[in-house]
Structure formats: structure tokens, C-alpha cells
Amino acid sequence: MITLGCDQISSTSIGKIIENPREYAGNQVMIKGEVTDAVSFFVVKYFMIKDGSGEIAVVTTRPLPRKGERIRVSGTVEEAFSIGGKQLLVVVEGEAKK
């Protein structure tokens, strides 16, 4: 869910998610930051979001946000893949609440 006016909901820093993948994998998080890139590749859509502590990909089924837009996103942290000691974490955006 992309939300713009939910200041009472605390967000998790992207750096904490990247530094502690075991703590966050499979868990719901709220992150906020600036969209740095947005990609639609066949059936996969994702965008990159960064805060002051790091950058992470967000996989979505919703319309992509614009580059430069400041947003909040909630979703589940997932490990996209792991090679040796390197991991790629993504946030899979949750469905919008009605």
C-alpha cells in the first residue's frame, strides 16, 4: 500500500532491514523514502526506494510511483535470492486496504 499521510505509523529504516535480514525476512514492514527508479518488465513491476540509510526494491502489482516521489510503503520483506554470502532482499507490497 502506498500512503502519503500516515505520520502516526512508524517506519523501519531500510538500512536496518538490509543489515538484519533474518530479523525482518517474512515480516511486515512500513518503509518511507524517495523513489529512485521504477521498472515494468513483462509481468513484474518494481521500484527502488531509498531513505538516508539504504535502498531496497519494492515488488508491486499496483501502478508504479514516479521517480523522485516521496512515499510510504507497507509490505513483507522477502529474500529474492542468495549467492554465497550475498543476499538480495525485496519488499513485496501488500494489498491496499479499503
Average the pLDDT over 73-93 and give the result: 86
Q: What is the DSSP letter of 53?
A: T
pLDDT of residue 2 exceeding 70, the answer is: no
Q: What are the cell numbers at 19? A: 543489515
| Domain ranges within the chain, ordered by starting residue | 2-93
- Provide mean pLDDT across the span 20-38: 96
Closest listed residue to residue 88, CA positions, set 57, 47, 53? 57
Task: Count CB neighbours of 31 within 10 A.
Answer: 23
Pick the CATH number of 2-93 from 2.60.40.1930, 1.20.58.100, 2.60.40.10, 2.40.50.140: 2.40.50.140
